[in-house]
Amino acid sequence: MRGWPSIVLLMALVAGAAWGETPAKTRVKRTAKEAAKTGGRTARDGALTLGRTTRDFFKGGAAAAKRTWKANAARTKETARSGGHATRRAAKGE
């Protein structure tokens, strides 16, 4: 029973901190938003790569599919890298 006042005080402090919008919360929200965008764009590029490669496999054979896969994989990699840079900038507050 001795710990109740300290628990109530701790809860009040946590609730007070959670209530207001702080620069750290804003930065976290921006970082999460950029990370979600990066994940979505990379997933989209991966799905397009799979579709294009499958199409080229049936139209032009294994060699065409391999060329398409490598070209699209490079594009997906670049999208992921640029998104990673944007996420890092958001995390730093830039």
* pLDDT tens-digit map of 26-79: 888 888 999 999 999 999 999 999 999 999 999 999 999 999 999 999 999 999
**DSSP string for residues in 58-85:** HHH-HHHHHHHHHHHHHHHHHHHHHHHH
Asked if 45 contacts 76 with a C-beta cutoff of 8 angstroms, the reply is yes
pLDDT of 52 = 96
User: What would the two tokens of residue 22 be?
Assistant: 């702080």
For residue 94, the 8-state DSSP code is -
What's this model's pTM, rounded to 2 decimal places? Answer: 0.67
**Domain coordinates of the chain in residue numbers?**
48-94
